[in-house]
Amino acid sequence: MTLLHGAPTERPRVLSRGVRLVEHLRGFGTALALVGPDGVRLTYAQLAERVEQEAATYAGARRLVLLGGRADLPGVVAYLGALAADQVVLVAGEATLDGLAAAYDPDVVVGASGRRDVRSEPAHELHPDLALLLSTSGSTGSPKLVRLSAESLVANAAAIVEALGIRPTDVAALTLPLHYCYGLSVLHAHLMAGAALLLTEHSVVDDGLWREVREHGVTTIPGVPHTFELLERSGFADRDVPSLRYLTQAGGRMAPDRVRRFAELGERKGFDLVVMYGQTEATARIAVLPPDRTIGAPGAIGLPVPGGSLSVRPLPDDEAAVEPGVGELVYAGPNVMLGYAEHPDDLALGRTVEALATGDLGRLRPDGLWEVVGRRGRVAKVLGLRIDLDRAERLLAASGLVAVVADGGDRLVLGVVDQAGRVDRARVLALAGGVLGLPPTALALVVVAELPRLASGKVDAGALVVMSGPAVESVEPAYAGVSVDDVAGLYSAALGRRAGPADTFVSLGGDSLSYVEVSLGLERLLGHLPVEWPTATVASLAADHHVPERRWGRLVEANVVLRAFAIVSIVGSHANLFTLLGGAHLLLAVAGFNLARFQLTAAARTERVRHLLRSAMRIAVPSIVVIATVSLWTDGIGLRQAMLVNGITTRNWSEPGWYYWFVEAAVYLVLLVAALAAVPAFDRLERRHPFWLPFALATAALVTRYGIVGVPGDNLHRAHVVFWLFALGWATARASRRSHRVLLSVMALATVPGFFDEGARDAYVAAGLLALIWVPALRLPTPVVRVLGLVAAASLWIYLLHWQVYPHLEHQVPWLATVLSLAVGVAAWWLVERTSKRMGTWFGNP
């Protein structure tokens, strides 16, 4: 489909595209194609057979396939097989599969655990030209995707083969992940040329890689700038690699001094260094620096790849270039992407981009080579001065200081590695200040053993700024130096599971118990709470360095306050301290809100169902244990209550038989949503209409709220009667527009009044719903936030146990009855939480 003996002159029919890929591979016969990490060797004929077999498993309609880009034999076969079957393939890292699945609802998911066919028919319209989707971030799983056509893949692979002179006798060591466009282009180009690839698990610092290089006669080693830094440190200059023809470098700008050193080393040892420039949006490569010109022009990106062209677009007046002749580089060629995708609906689009505005600042040198001098947007404003960060790095390097420069807001952050020896901080700051014309107070120095890097090998500038600490001394120390380990440690402690940089609260199985602890902990760490924190990765939260102004108190999510307030109102009303009924009904709306934020944010349908069932279990199991224990000494509490079936086996309210109605209702409602989510059609509908579906369910549930459909007896405490409140909370979590919130407010104000017998109860629940709809967070005194967090997190245990505490004191000391009921519930929650984590179990709140 994509790897042919030459660029196509005309787009083939769907079937022939798949056949042509297999035929292309088969055409190289017994030539070596792949060597796996375990030493297994596949000829092109054998690879063609496996790809053909894999393609045959995609019978029926053309679908969206989300594939973990594993650089091993099964991973390569899975990728080529999906392409040969004319599927649209979204290649991602294993750690980002869940997030991309949630964003794009793929029809097939292929990961390390195997393949899962979500559905046999496509959920989205797929444009016939669309073949491949890659994240713009390469390794972080950004939901913004690059849409690539089959023709773009073919054109760029052919251009790389020609520019590099790849031979059928070449063997490339694939040390890069396939979800990174550079790694994928290495695979494409070498398979197009009939060359071989060594799929290795070793890094360039491992002796195991060099044993494989010698054993298999590797001729090509690709790398990003960090790869070459590792090569220098690991003594590559002293290695004997007689088979090596050339090293290729892409994935970001490498320091000219290092480029020259490797080029000169290659001259002495008989290999070339090929510097390349590219972007995912151009399918991979845009320009190649001819090896014979590298030593004389180590800072250039070279010449456009065959079939492509570069030009300079003048910058607007407010972005006037600091150097003459500089503008934005614009690339045109057959390998330019179709356009971006930010939503599943975008997969139906055709070409929306003709020429690629790279975002890089560059110019055509007098020697005819192209040069990148900076990046649009890599301009800081410090003390009123505009500073080009790329140019600042070049000036520092020319003065003997190798540093990464990042925008720290009102200062520049300099990252310096100390492995070569102790760094004299005062001297470095004085030198940098003199070169850049800035006082030391406008500079921050971070000295590290290793620069923080993204998975692609590029320096993580955001993390570097975080490491530099707060910009002003008045900021509380808790906000300084937040690391990935800090956030991961918080998640691990709260969720009882090991957390890594690519994990999210949702992917780790977080729900309404842990979110209270985690949200308050994050606010303390970061100084604020990002709106989308449940689906943000640990790494991105750690790099969120927007240090707030110093303010009193702490910010806490409104639903945490509502949950704490509701359980206090339940206990205080029962203990005769005051009368404010309706708290349990408000808790059901909060439960629906949290279910939508956590359980229904999971990626695949089966994972959603599993999360929902676990959530129901976390309510049901501790409830059954507590109620069964209480039944041993309480008349009126028996098997019906312990088995959570009282509400469906009795009609009229009676005490204490109906004490636990809220628990029953919460369990049934979560199970109902789990049953609905298990239906593929419902799952697709919910993903396409995340607000309107729960709103429609809330509207439909009014037939039970108003008694149009139902059974005689109690009409306030049964799951099917209160489902409308639960669905309103669900819809609130999905409300993305002001019009949505207005509509929900109207519904709440129209349907809550009259549900209860008391006007105050109606007003309380309606006011709580309006707060849930309109108030995202509140700033409260820090001691108050701590107490609210404990009470909200322990709300289920408070509800279950307060029936056994307050009756002993409600007539004598109602305030003490209330406080003790809350304290006993918090203590039980704390004990069970700590014990269950140690035992590998975890129970929580709705």
pLDDT digits (tens, 9 = 90+) for 621-665: 999 999 999 999 999 999 999 999 998 888 888 889 899 999 999
Q: What is the mean pLDDT of residues 274-293?
A: 93
What pTM does this model have?
0.51
> In the predicted model, is pLDDT for residue 741 greater than 60?
yes
Q: Give me 349's structure tokens.
A: 């689009």
Say which range, 111-120, 207-216, 594-603, 693-702, has the weakest mean pLDDT: 594-603
Confidence of residue 373 (pLDDT cuts 50, 70, 90): confident
Q: Supply the pLDDT for residue 1.
A: 30
Cα–Cα distance for residue pair 790/215, rounded to 1 Å: 61
Q: Domain 377-468 belongs to what architecture?
A: 2-Layer Sandwich (3.30)
Nearest Cα to Cα of residue 326 among 286, 285, 289, 358: 358
Give 220's strand partners.
172, 246
Where does residue 295 fall: left (phi above 0), alpha (psi -120 to 50 degrees), or beta otherwise? alpha
Cα–Cα distance for residue pair 702/725, rounded to 1 Å: 10
Cα–Cα distance for residue pair 763/310, rounded to 1 Å: 66
As a CATH number, domain 14-364 is 3.40.50.12780
Q: Supply the pLDDT for residue 543.
A: 61
Confidence of residue 696 (pLDDT cuts 50, 70, 90): very high
More confident residue, 558 or 800: 800
399: part of which helix (H) or strand (E)?
Answer: none
Q: Give me 447's structure tokens.
A: 């000295």
More confident residue, 271 or 515: 271
CB 51 within 8 A of CB 77: yes
Cα–Cα distance for residue pair 270/474, rounded to 1 Å: 58
Nearest Cα to Cα of residue 146 among 360, 349, 378, 361: 349
Q: Quick one: what percent of the chain has pLDDT higher than 90?
A: 48
Q: Supply the pLDDT for residue 531.
A: 57
Q: Supply the pLDDT for residue 835.
A: 76
Q: Supply the pLDDT for residue 55.
A: 94
Nearest Cα to Cα of residue 247 among 280, 213, 279, 216: 213
Query: Cα torsion for 226, 502, 203, 181, to the nearest 10°?
Result: -70
Confidence of residue 680 (pLDDT cuts 50, 70, 90): confident
The rounded mean pLDDT for the chain is: 83
Say which range, 12-16, 120-124, 317-321, has the weakest mean pLDDT: 12-16
More confident residue, 16 or 291: 291
Q: Supply the pLDDT for residue 786.
A: 82
Q: What is the mean pLDDT of residues 603-607?
A: 68
271: part of which helix (H) or strand (E)?
Answer: none
Say which range, 19-28, 117-126, 265-274, 739-748, has the weakest mean pLDDT: 19-28
More confident residue, 781 or 63: 63
Q: For the segment 565-581, what is each residue's pLDDT rounded down to a tens digit?
A: 999 999 999 999 999 99
> In the predicted model, is pLDDT for residue 342 greater than 90?
no
Q: Supply the pLDDT for residue 406.
A: 81
Q: Supply the pLDDT for residue 711.
A: 67
Q: Supply the pLDDT for residue 844.
A: 41
The CA-based diameter of the chain, rounded to the nearest angstrom, is: 95
Q: Which residues of 82-101 are buried (b: 16+ CB within 10 A; e: fewer)?
A: bbbbbbbbbbbbbbbbbbbb
Residue 189 DSSP SS3: helix
Confidence of residue 166 (pLDDT cuts 50, 70, 90): very high
CB atoms within 10 A of CB 278: 24
Q: For the segment 777-835, what is each residue's pLDDT rounded down to a tens digit?
A: 888 888 888 898 889 889 999 999 999 999 999 999 999 999 999 999 999 988 887 77
DSSP codes joined into one string, 219-261: -EEEE-HHHHHHHHHTTGGG---TT--EEEE-SSPPPHHHHHH
Give 579's strand partners.
none
Q: Supply the pLDDT for residue 508.
A: 74
> For helices 719-734 and 692-700, what crossing angle results, to 10°?
160
Q: At 460, phi and psi to the nearest 5?
A: -90, 95
DSSP codes joined into one string, 741-758: HHHHHHHHHHHSTTSSS-
Identical fold, 14-364 and 484-551: no
Q: Supply the pLDDT for residue 512.
A: 61
Cα–Cα distance for residue pair 326/315, rounded to 1 Å: 8
HEC string for 12-64: CCHHHHHHHHHHHHHCCCCCEEEECCCCCEEEHHHHHHHHHHHHHCCCCCCCE
Q: What is the C-alpha end-to-end distance of the chain, expressed in Å?
A: 50
Q: Supply the pLDDT for residue 608.
A: 80
CB 789 within 8 A of CB 517: yes
**In which residue are the tokens 């054109």 written?**
155
- In 67-217, alpha helices (H): 73-84, 97-104, 150-164, 181-193, 207-216
Q: Quick one: what percent of the chain has pLDDT higher than 70?
A: 83
CB atoms within 10 A of CB 788: 22
Look at the chain and count its residues.
846
Cα–Cα distance for residue pair 234/225, rounded to 1 Å: 14
DSSP state of 718: -
More confident residue, 439 or 690: 690
Where are the domains positioned within the chain?
Answer: 14-364, 377-468, 484-551, 558-793
CATH class of the structural domain 484-551: mainly alpha
